Structure 1
Amino acid sequence: MNKFKLSILTMAIATAGISSYSYAQEQETKLSPTEAREKAKADAAIETIEIKGFRRSIVESINAKRFSPNVVESISAEDIGKLPDSSIAESISRLPGLTSQRLDGRASRVSIRGFGENESATTFNGREQVSIGDNRGVEFDLYPSEIMSGVTVYKTPNATLEAEGIAGVIDMQTVKPLSRERTIQFNGQYEMTSFDKLNPDGNDNGARGTFSYIDQFADDKVGIAFAYSKMSSPNQEKRWNAWGYPEFTVDGENYSILGGAKPFVRSSTLDRDSALLVVEAAPTDKLKMTFDALYVDFKDEKILRGIEIPFAWGYNRGTSALEVDPATGFVTKGSVTDENLVVRNDMENREADLTALGFNVEYDLNDDWTLVFDASHSAVQREIWSFESYAGTGRGDNEGVGDDLTYEFRPGNTGAIFTPSLDYSDYNLIRLGGPRSWGSSTALNNAFVPDSNGDGVIDSDDQYFNSAQDGFINAPTIDDELNAFKLAASQLVEDAGILTKITYGVSYRQREKTKESEGYFMTLKDFPDMVSIPDQYRLGSVSLDFIGMGNMVAYDAGRLLDDGFYTLTRESLTNQSHATKSWKVSEDVLALYVQTDLEAEIGDIPVTGNFGLRYVDTKQSSQGSASAPVNGLIVTSPTDIEHSYSHLLPSVNLTFDVAESQSVRFGAAKTLSRPRLDEMHSSLSVNYGSTPDSNGNFWTVSGGNPLLEPKEAIGLDLTYENYFNDEGYFSIAYFWKDLNEWIFDGSYEVDLVGVQNPNTGEVPATSTATGSGKVNGGGGTLQGAEFSVTLPLNVVSDVLDGFGVIASYTRVDQDMTDQNGNDYKLPGLSENIQSYTAFYEQNGFQARVSMRKRGDFRGDVYGIGFDTQQVDIMGETIVDAQIGFDFGDAGYKSLEGLSVFLQGQNLTEEPFVSLQGNAFQVRDYQDYGSTYLLGFSYKM
């Protein structure tokens, strides 16, 4: 049997993607199938036909998919700044089997084949990355597409990948300056929203710009790539938000009614400065060194104004149901009398600094051995400052002017329309101060005013200020740091049967993530008096016409705080939740791996691929606190818990070249997804009951579970691929995963030996507690089918040269149960995922329209105190379009290198909708409008 080894030239051809791959016919001399395929690739390198622009990127992506030993999807950008999307998530969410969840109107969280973002891993130049969230899932809006050269999504793993994820691994790549020509490039864009400014101090337009420079020095032995990108991107939203829908019974009939609402308008500005440096050196033919550094300064400022409207969870004075849907028992129209509403002027600042550093050395020891050393550092610091300011007509539950208002739910999951009786834009009516008795805390000053009604008796009729709460601040912080090292060796082998190369490696990574949670009650210094809003802080009004509330007062709440109108009281003094939200989790992961590449023939069918085995040993620890209430205040003591485990992860990837330009791929692997960091910490809330629970324990413990272990899966992939054209292919794939050791809510036993009984002061010889939190258990299966095609229409007729279609459809089904046998739906799973792009590119003119569609799913959103909550999210269809013109490709030599484009995002103004029960029970209806970008690129 004849064997071949891919030469450096062949590998360059396979990955460059700049050639038209027209396979030559075999010569009269009989060649083996593998030799014929090698010759065809070499011929393609000689018969190069240059393809530019978007079509070139398509060819690069096709070739990355075609010549990878794994099942992958790829986006390839011709130059830094080629990708037009504002984040990597928007770009890769169009790939087959992938989709994204929007966060504040921007694609941020990516789902692969029905799994949420916590089941996939993200790498940057092959190195695992930290995240700005509480968990592992990367929020991709941190990464600008302008400074990336491409993205590869690994749907099947191999032993050499330095990250774990049941769904897959997403690898973002930078340019290699020694393989690029000298380039200086400027990109600029102007951006605007379809909404006029919803807040008087918000933005409805912005701009972004990128400068990039690639060059080679020292006789092309040193290459440098530098890119700097600056963005100020506006985003606006009209949001309906419901507190919930409580049930009640009347004459034996069950009904559900609106508990309360919190609609508002939001204006955001995302400011992001990014700098990328890549230095590549090849001082000899045997040695290559690469250093890359990425720094991102990220700031998202939000202005939110709206009104909190209590109904069933208000005072229950005069609440009535006017209309009820007979099929669901849902009150579709209701009214309330004499209700006190809360006028909100809020702000939220989310800031993060990301640093990623990497150093890689490759050394060819001889013709057969290559050594690789890699070291990296990734760190992020994130701060959130979320500020709520309250105003109303009077302080407390029974003061001020009450509102008589009616609500009616509209069709289409858009929430309710209100009919108020008060003018909330009247500065003489609306004053600073808390109109509701919320935020009960013994730590607050002036807990109540005795005999407030003046009847000479202190009783339940008196006005209690059990919250001197005139606003609130949430201020959680995140520090996440990851250091990694890898040493690998590859050996080309001769006369070893079907084996062609063996790769050995060892890697070590250490990650430490710390979260500090704190909240602050805000109290006016003039408490208990309410304060008229001073003129210098007034900003006019904002319109809440989209929910029928008319205009409401707008004021600069941040300046009021800065100028000393409020005093602050730490919520953690009396609220255990902050103690359980503050924690540190550390992981030390040691991995050993071996992988063999192979080439064989089964009959006349060439077979290539790899077998791999990866051993992963993990030691995890968490430092936190155990908190308990003592005399109304929270007392904490430190906790420190360690746990270790190991996994053996085999994998196989095989490609069968069944015919010319046709192949069948098979992949099988055992994979894992590590627990969410906010679920595996050791911060606990501890309580001692007067009677034992059903387990016979007096102690109860809730919070994180530091003994959690990863979820596991055994997966199979089978794919048929047909590369029928230089610029086209189609594929059909089937995938199946057996899932086990999943993570669910549950209970477990905690050993409390040595802990003092708070009632007797004794330390018993044996003591246990009932713990509640996340536990391993349960599982099931997930399976799906995937269809994708890239079709250049010149295969139909030469008249259609330049036209093309890219389409994919994915169907996913699951059968999952928790540890108690109850049905369970995987977060992020949409049963149907579709993506379509139609494009035209010829003589410098470019046009394309894209649609991505996904079905209903369960997704993560931020809840109270920025806790992650899962909600039911309705499916959505996003339509984007772009037209552009490249003057150089059109023949204008004096304008060579200049191109312009116009892009529209979310052209159909698709809302983001989440439900809480039946179709009427809308939790969120978020209308973002559309976004338009006008840009240029000039390349020298």
Structure 2
Amino acid sequence: MSPFKPSMLTLALLAAGLSSTAYAADEEAKKAEAQQEDIEVIEVSGFRTSVIKSLNAKRFNDTVSETISADDLGALPDVSIADALTRLPGVTAVRTGGQASGLNIRGLDGGFVFATLNGREQVTTGGSRSIEFDQYPSELINQAAVYKSQKASLIEGGVAGTVELQTADPLQNDKEHSFNVNLRGAYNDRSDQVSDADEYGNRFSLSYQGKFLEDTLGIAAGYAHLYQPYVSSQFIGLRFNDDFKDVNSDGIKEQISEGFEPQQKGGSDTRDGYMAAIHWQPSDRLSIKTDVFHSKFDSENFARGFRIKSLKNADVSNAVIENGSLTGGDFTTGLNDDGSLKDFAVFVVNDNDSKHTELTSGAINIEWNDGEAWTISADISYSEADGKFVNGGTRAVLFDDIENQVRSRNTISYQLDGLNQGKFTSPQSFTDTSTLALKEVGMWPYDQQNELVAYKLDFKYELENDFFSSVEFGARYSDREFNAQRSQAGYGFEFSANSPNQLALRLTDDMVSVVDFGGELSGYPSFLKIDFDKAVDLVNQQLAATGQDPFSPTANWDNNWTLIQSGKVTEDVLAGYVQGNLNFDLGDINVTGNVGIRAVRTEQYSTGLSQVGFGLGEEIADDKGNISTDYIRNRAGKTYTDYLPSLNLNFHLTENDQIRFAAAKVMARPPIDKLKSGNGSWYSDYNGKRAYNSWGNTSPLLDPFYADQYDLSYERYFAESEGAISFALFYKDIKSFINDITIDPFDFEGVPGFIIPDTVIDNGVEFDVVKNQGQYQTAINNDNGGYIRGLELGYTQIFDFLPDALSGLGFTGSYSYSDSEVEFTTNLSGSTLDIPLPGLSEHVVNTTLFYTLDGFDTRLSMRYRSEYVSEQVAVESQLAFFEAETIFDYQASYAFENGLKLLFQINNLTDEANKTYFGEKHQTGTIQNFGRQYFLGFNYSL
């Protein structure tokens, strides 16, 4: 009997710890267990277990994939599943607050990454489709896999790849009853550099799995708690303007940065995760599963310090010029001809960037087989995610005379130093309440709700022929709804003089405290921390005294963007597939895999507000109860059908050598908030008429991203020792990307969602409306596609052939190279530059050196990625070049025979900073230090 027949494949998958329901019926698995093994499946203990199980999962999967086992996640208790996944070949992440959150796979960012939990689609807590993987505690995830090639039975959506997360199946547990508890304390060695930062955090988790009724009923439950303070000292340089200015009177105009932000950033993450599962299998033919997952994540974030804006409006002396860019000098607020101050100022800022998110996912699955050929599975699932983003802050500036609202001219000196911390000084004091006054208070909340219900029916029929081992087919229907609510509350003005009813307010001593910079920013000017709640109380006192409404965020016509950017998107998807699972001999080579096609019909539409102006719309009330007749409710969208063929072939050259080939057409739908239909409008003069113009930068008419992709890989699994080497080539031909664009002129006639009058009355005069000569600020599928190609090398070796204690030594590592012809343009450096595909690092290296001996485990892990382009976080998100980074993590543990394990861990061992720049490295972007994170605790298992 060939060792690669379906029964032995199933046995190997079971030995790798994978769910039997994902690959074969339980009856088939039981038959396979009774057969003689022809392939040696490696069985080891300790950390090596996770390494070898990952190899086995990769070896016997029918697609190109990478896997992390539950043992791995348990032995190295990452803060979230995102940290664990970054150890896989070709997987990288951008650090947020020092922690991995969104993932990039093979050079494509999170918008191209699809994610499932127990095979069910997951919605996001934000407006894009990028999954925030830090929402998922690693303690509650039993296994994580990254599928890099597609097959027809997988849900569509992963151009970069599909991340499959699995929670525990209690009937698959080795023990009849098991109980696990974890407790760890955490410490950040930079906590003393940020005012009010907590030094210590903690993690706690417990879980139980049990089998009852003669192993026919399984119950699993888990809880994981995280309290993690984080700190960051950061210098953020802002983009360089393309409107140059001659600052040293040499007749040459220089590029000038918009400003910079030296700040202390910090806060804390509190996450509570829950998991429960019940699996009832009363017979070999019937299986009923239900599971639920819930995660609540509160991230209290603040950013405090300075925001220096509009340097181009300052008078400059002692200018320092590097390659045409102004990188330092002495700056003073300039004066207009009438003696008023130009728009340059030093703001003392206290921002509240907190977010509060909840994610719930649940499902029930019923599977039946006839004991011979048929397996039928029915699944109903639900996924919901809510995200509330506070987005508030205060702005304070210096005044010569607060009572008479006479603002001071600011004077500063600064000098950039490329990717090192520069200098920033000022002769003025920013800690005196007699001169520093509250000029502006604002809140711009963004609340979002995602909800998805899906129904799935799958059939599998076992065949007895020399080509197909089985055939699968099925259908899935999903209904997804996204709702967004924008709101705003504002008091005061950024640069303009405060109006009589919104005066700049004197700060009181009980609402402020002095903050000194530490670490690399030591020596920067001190500033006042302002209590945001007390600032709002102060504002409300002033509003009440002048008979105005209280400070409360609303969607209102005065800030009509709040209503236009609110709205609903609905997505109905009906998909069907057929897939043949292959098992045939090509000469002396056994070939397995699958071939199939997935047909997908998508109906997307959005409801929102469209501005028509001049009282031509409906009567619509805002949150304040004010009525406007300048808007209409619109509904627009489209329906499209896609056919996605796929092929996966695995050529088993020997028992230990195999070649894989995969090809597929794949798709990823647009960010869901980009599908909103709301749009604002204005009318401009055109030859004595009025031309209609529209803004919004969203469109319910967007098409998905499409790509044709190909994979070719070679894998060798060692026969004389434990380990493997692999070599993979991949190629993706992406058809288009989505970009914001201004089309000028644009013909609005007949475009869905636009109702444009023939005439308008402006100041009592009637004008004809021109519908084909205005601007259209929207989002489109451009034709700027292109290839992404690369290679991946993997090597794992357990050195069990070494003598004595050295046999516990092991290594696992990978190298990935990615290249793309896709380019975009940016002018954030002051000049128009071609930039590579955001998120793509040409070189990525992941390594772990580990050692195990008599209960002692230790390991040192390294993650390296070369420079790449992504968004840096500032007052506005701005694309920047990220410097290459290398991150080391270390862990040591000792397991006693009674089930107790002690653990010590250090993350970011070398305190690697985040560094960015615009165009050239002397144009400083972000320099952000997160500190080392220390963990000490224990795990106890029964």
Question: Counterparts of 1:630 and 1:859 in 2: how far apart (Å)?
Answer: 41
- The equivalent residue for 1:278 is 277
Question: Counterparts of 2:72 and 2:654 in 1: how far apart (Å)?
Answer: 34
Question: Counterparts of 1:901 and 1:397 in 2: how far apart (Å)?
Answer: 62
- State the one-letter code of the partner of 2:346: L
Asked whether 1:618 is paired with 2:602, we answer: yes
Question: Counterparts of 1:242 and 1:68 in 2: how far apart (Å)?
Answer: 47
Alpha-carbon distance, 1:323 to partner: 2.2
**Residue aligned with 1:846, SS:** strand
Q: Deviations over 1:408-441 (max 9, x none)?
A: 1124x1353112112323344433x21xxxxxxx
Alpha-carbon distance, 1:536 to partner: 3.2
The aligned runs of 1:662-677 (5 Å cut-off) are 662-677=657-672
The aligned runs of 1:1-400 (5 Å cut-off) are 5-7=5-7, 11-17=10-16, 42-43=36-37, 50-78=43-71, 81-180=74-173, 181=175, 182-246=177-241, 247-249=244-246, 250-310=249-309, 312-314=311-313, 316=314, 318-325=315-322, 328-337=323-332, 340-394=345-399, 399-400=406-407
The aligned runs of 1:786-805 (5 Å cut-off) are 786-795=792-801, 800-805=806-811
- State the one-letter code of the partner of 2:411: D
Q: 1:871 to 1:640 in 2, by over 3 A?
A: farther
- State the one-letter code of the partner of 1:520: A
Asked whether 1:537 is paired with 2:506, we answer: no
Give the unaligned 5+ runs of structure 1.
Answer: 20-37, 435-469, 889-895
Q: 1:937 to 1:39 in 2, by over 3 A?
A: closer
- State the one-letter code of the partner of 1:267: G
Asked whether 1:581 is paired with 2:565, we answer: yes
- The equivalent residue for 1:755 is 756
Alpha-carbon distance, 1:909 to partner: 1.4
- The equivalent residue for 1:493 is 463
Q: Deviations over 1:677-704 (max 9, x none)?
A: 23222111212211279x9964344421
Question: Counterparts of 1:702 and 1:481 in 2: how far apart (Å)?
Answer: 24
Q: Percent identity?
A: 29
Q: Deviations over 1:100-153 (max 9, x none)?
A: 111222101111111111111011011110011210010111111111111010
Is 2:880–2:917's contact at 8 Å kept on the other side of the alignment?
yes
Asked whether 1:706 is paired with 2:700, we answer: yes
- The equivalent residue for 2:621 is none
- State the one-letter code of the partner of 2:278: V
- The equivalent residue for 1:477 is 447
- The equivalent residue for 1:852 is 863
Asked whether 1:510 is paired with 2:494, we answer: no
Question: Counterparts of 2:477 and 2:212 in 1: how far apart (Å)?
Answer: 34
Match of 2:918 among 916, 919, 922: 916
**Residue aligned with 2:293, SS:** strand
- The equivalent residue for 2:551 is 568
- State the one-letter code of the partner of 1:755: I
Question: Counterparts of 2:145 and 2:92 in 1: how far apart (Å)?
Answer: 15
Is 2:683–2:691's contact at 8 Å kept on the other side of the alignment?
no
Alpha-carbon distance, 1:159 to partner: 0.5
Alpha-carbon distance, 1:83 to partner: 4.2
Q: 1:256 to 1:619 in 2, by over 3 A?
A: same
- The equivalent residue for 2:527 is 552
Q: Deviations over 1:483-540 (max 9, x none)?
A: 111101100112x431110001011111111111112103599966554433433344
Match of 2:417 among 406, 410, 416: 410
Match of 1:873 among 882, 897, 907: 882
- State the one-letter code of the partner of 1:920: H
**Residue aligned with 1:123, SS:** strand
- State the one-letter code of the partner of 2:888: V
Question: Counterparts of 1:824 and 1:406 in 2: how far apart (Å)?
Answer: 31
Asked whether 1:810 is paired with 2:816, we answer: yes
Greater shift, 418-427 or 761-770, is seen at 761-770
Is 1:691–1:698's contact at 8 Å kept on the other side of the alignment?
no
Q: 1:391 to 1:843 in 2, by over 3 A?
A: same
Q: 1:404 to 1:2 in 2, by over 3 A?
A: closer
Asked whether 1:591 is paired with 2:575, we answer: yes
Question: Counterparts of 1:301 and 1:699 in 2: how far apart (Å)?
Answer: 40
Q: 1:636 to 1:860 in 2, by over 3 A?
A: farther
- State the one-letter code of the partner of 1:399: V
Is 1:886–1:900's contact at 8 Å kept on the other side of the alignment?
yes
Alpha-carbon distance, 1:79 to partner: 8.3
Question: Counterparts of 1:130 and 1:48 in 2: how far apart (Å)?
Answer: 37
Is 1:368–1:493's contact at 8 Å kept on the other side of the alignment?
yes
Question: Counterparts of 1:384 and 1:220 in 2: how far apart (Å)?
Answer: 46
Is 2:236–2:874's contact at 8 Å kept on the other side of the alignment?
no
Question: Counterparts of 1:862 and 1:740 in 2: how far apart (Å)?
Answer: 29
Greater shift, 616-625 or 547-556, is seen at 547-556
Q: 1:629 to 1:195 in 2, by over 3 A?
A: farther
- State the one-letter code of the partner of 1:550: P
Alpha-carbon distance, 1:201 to partner: 3.1
Q: 1:41 to 1:244 in 2, by over 3 A?
A: farther
Q: 1:580 to 1:914 in 2, by over 3 A?
A: farther
**Residue aligned with 1:909, SS:** coil
Greater shift, 329-338 or 811-820, is seen at 811-820
Asked whether 1:775 is paired with 2:780, we answer: yes
Question: Counterparts of 1:739 and 1:155 in 2: how far apart (Å)?
Answer: 15
Q: 1:787 to 1:659 in 2, by over 3 A?
A: same
Q: 1:406 to 1:49 in 2, by over 3 A?
A: closer
Question: Counterparts of 2:941 and 2:838 in 1: how far apart (Å)?
Answer: 43
Give the unaligned 5+ runs of structure 2.
Answer: 19-31, 334-343, 493-497, 543-549, 616-625, 827-832
Greater shift, 128-137 or 392-401, is seen at 392-401
How many residue pairs align between the two structures?
868
Is 2:691–2:770's contact at 8 Å kept on the other side of the alignment?
no
Is 1:311–1:319's contact at 8 Å kept on the other side of the alignment?
no
Is 2:491–2:502's contact at 8 Å kept on the other side of the alignment?
no
Q: Deviations over 1:323-366 (max 9, x none)?
A: 222xx122232102367522122223200111100111110134
Alpha-carbon distance, 1:580 to partner: 3.9
Question: Counterparts of 1:492 and 1:719 in 2: how far apart (Å)?
Answer: 28
- State the one-letter code of the partner of 1:389: T
Q: Deviations over 1:731-769 (max 9, x none)?
A: 000111122133234436433575213247688797685
Is 1:178–1:280's contact at 8 Å kept on the other side of the alignment?
yes
Alpha-carbon distance, 1:307 to partner: 1.4
**Residue aligned with 2:71, SS:** coil
CA RMSD between the two structures: 3.1
Alpha-carbon distance, 1:799 to partner: 5.1
Is 1:487–1:505's contact at 8 Å kept on the other side of the alignment?
yes
- State the one-letter code of the partner of 2:588: D
Scaled by the length of structure 1, what TM-score is found? 0.87
Question: Counterparts of 1:478 and 1:414 in 2: how far apart (Å)?
Answer: 38
Q: 1:706 to 1:842 in 2, by over 3 A?
A: same
